[in-house]
Amino acid sequence: MVTSDLGACEWFVWDLRRSGLIDRGPLDQIVSEFLRRNPRAEAPALAEFLVDQGTLTAFQAERILNGKSQGLVLGPYVLLDAIGAGSMGQVYKATSKNDNNLYAVKVLPRRSMWNVRLARRQVRSFSTFSHPAVVPFVDVGTAGGLHYLAWPLAEGHTLESIVQQQGKLEPNLAAMYAVQVAQGLTLAHQNNLFHGLVKPSNIMIGPDNQARILDFGIGSLLVENEGESLVDTMSTANTLTSGLDCASPESIMEPTNRTPAGDQYSLGCVLYYALTGRVPFPEGSAVEKMMAHQTKTPMPIVELAPDVPAGLADVVMRLMAKTAEERFTGCDELVEALEPFLGDLSRMPGGVPNTHSGARPGLSSGARPGLAPRSNHGTKVTLPTRSGTTGAAAADRGRPSPAPAAPNVRTPNPQPARGPSAVPSRASFQLPGLADEVADTGSTARAPTTETPRAALPKLPTRGATTGKPAAQPKSPAPQLEPVEEHEGEEAPAWATEAGEEKKANTGVIIIAVVAIVLMVAAYFGATMLMK
Ligand SMILES: Nc1ncnc2c1ncn2[C@@H]1O[C@H](COP(=O)(O)OP(=O)(O)OP(=O)(O)O)[C@@H](O)[C@H]1O
């Protein structure tokens, strides 16, 4: 097809070709067929047609209509949708051309400092073991000036969102999730990997009721130091601040001091949150929270949740001991300590996962072929085998439904048709119903996740609405990285650099705030020491 045949759709088709989403032959075939039947069609109509018949996802179509055709293919990953924005960057749902599995791909803003060699070493570490509770860090790369990290896509809802919506959990359910996480951590620790950022938003509860630890690998990379860290200091500061509610005292004093014992402390905070519906130190500024982790005892669990067994509350307090020596000798000992509180889990909706199974039903990508079998890591808990999976929670995270795609079209399309669009302009186009769903990488707003909509959350046993304060403080918008390193010869996708200028001013303020926080903490402890 020659360009002149494309009419008003010309720019869109050119951008689509440039995006790399679809091979040119099949694309031209589909477009010429569409224009033969709709000779006066504008770009939005063509985009809608491509979405309807499964060639593009709504996310991809909107990007291209808005002139953001680059960066939709990163290495082997074809971005399908935006999942959410964290402190380091934007996370996308993607499919890999290598294996057609679904992945969560975290894209760092352009020019952020990067040490791919260290990250690749991390990836190799995760290839040596496998556990149902560990979502492994499987890939890193750089494409089109952007750095990306990949994990298999985990289905379900984060523990944070479940507690925010449904309130504190039944003690035995909270204990079960803690056991699952502790089992995963045990194996990771045995493989010389710690997490470093354990918190409720990093625990995904699958439709099979299996807890899965997200973001494995990031914490280690933040503390790696071979002259340069993985990411620039702004990214590190953002990530550390976002994890403050569950940060261990020692990691607050020295951010590179992240250890298995620190993971225990953080898991203690997570368990406290699940049992009470609030984090241990919900009040105050970042500095006050940092000090509270150092010096204060959280409100007793029994005051917030009288039905939590005293022994279980004791386990949480031991996990949250101020010094590493006072905590458990390891997460395997923790599993043993939690075992008596599992109670009768067989009546749980959706059943209970068989924690001894190597299968990973809630991971979209499944187990990686060639992984070593899961080692015996001293787990003594035997939970009843689950009788069935509700599956409801997986609805919007599932694989793309087979689409009537054109032959040889590379990208499967999981998006249903969204109805007619009346918005003709390239600059403002948004497919109906998606107006606020997609955030730019450069945006400071936290985009919604692809979690099942709140109304459709699986009904987990809880103890009614949370009393007192809200279950979790709404997170402040994630500040973005200041570009610190120019990668010569790499073309930056437009969508990755937009709004960068606007954020430079904010970054300066954030740096000053971080420095001020550190100085205040130092001054506080200096004064305390002097008074003693
Ligand atoms: N492997 C994964 N599978 C499914 N969803 C994921 C995966 N990893 C991350 N997500 C989701 O992507 C979104 C953004 O994650 P990200 O880790 O960047 O931010 P966060 O954990 O919410 O915050 P922070 O960056 O402060 O830790 C979250 O909703 C998270 O649940």
> What is the model's pLDDT at position 435?
26
> Which residue is closest in CA terms to ligand 1's atom 17?
86
CA 203 – CA 133 distance, rounded (Å): 9
493-520 pLDDT per residue, tens: 333 333 333 334 444 555 666 666 667 7
Highest mean pLDDT among 13-22, 253-262, 355-364, 493-502: 13-22
403-459 pLDDT per residue, tens: 223 222 223 333 333 333 322 233 333 333 222 222 333 332 333 333 433 333 434
C-beta of 276 in contact with ligand 1 (< 6 A): no
> What is the model's pLDDT at position 489?
30
B/e letters for 279-311, b = 16+ CB within 10 Å, e = fewer, are bbbbeeebbebbbbbbeeebeebeebbeebbee
C-beta of 237 in contact with ligand 1 (< 6 A): no
Contact 260, 194 (CB under 8 A): yes
> What is the model's pLDDT at position 144?
84
C-beta of 27 in contact with ligand 1 (< 6 A): no
> What is the model's pLDDT at position 209?
95
Q: Over pLDDT 90: what percentage of the chain? A: 46
Q: How far does the centroid of ligand 1 lie from the alpha carbon of residue 449, in Å?
A: 8
> What is the model's pLDDT at position 460?
41
C-beta of 146 in contact with ligand 1 (< 6 A): no
Which has more pLDDT, 479 or 153? 153
Which has more pLDDT, 362 or 23? 23
CATH 3.30.110.40 describes domain 155-396 = no
Q: Which residues pair with 154 in a beta bridge?
A: 363
Highest mean pLDDT among 63-67, 150-154, 528-532: 150-154
Highest mean pLDDT among 101-110, 345-354, 436-445: 101-110
Which has more pLDDT, 163 or 7? 163
**Residue owning tokens 């006050």:** 288
CA 211 – CA 173 distance, rounded (Å): 11
Q: Is the pLDDT of residue 372 over 60?
A: no
C-beta of 242 in contact with ligand 1 (< 6 A): yes
Q: Is the pLDDT of residue 174 over 70?
A: yes
Q: Is 106 annotated as a binding residue?
A: yes
Confidence tier at 464 by pLDDT (50, 70, 90): very low
Q: Is the pLDDT of residue 222 over 70?
A: yes
Atom of ligand 1 nearest to the CA of 88: 25
Contact 79, 414 (CB under 8 A): no
> For the chain, what's the residue count?
532
Q: How far does the centroid of ligand 1 lie from the alpha carbon of residue 157, in Å?
A: 11
In the chain, residues under CATH classification 1.10.510.10 are: 155-396
CA 215 – CA 123 distance, rounded (Å): 12
Average pLDDT over residues 79-103: 94
Instruction: Give this prediction's pTM.
Output: 0.70
C-beta of 202 in contact with ligand 1 (< 6 A): yes
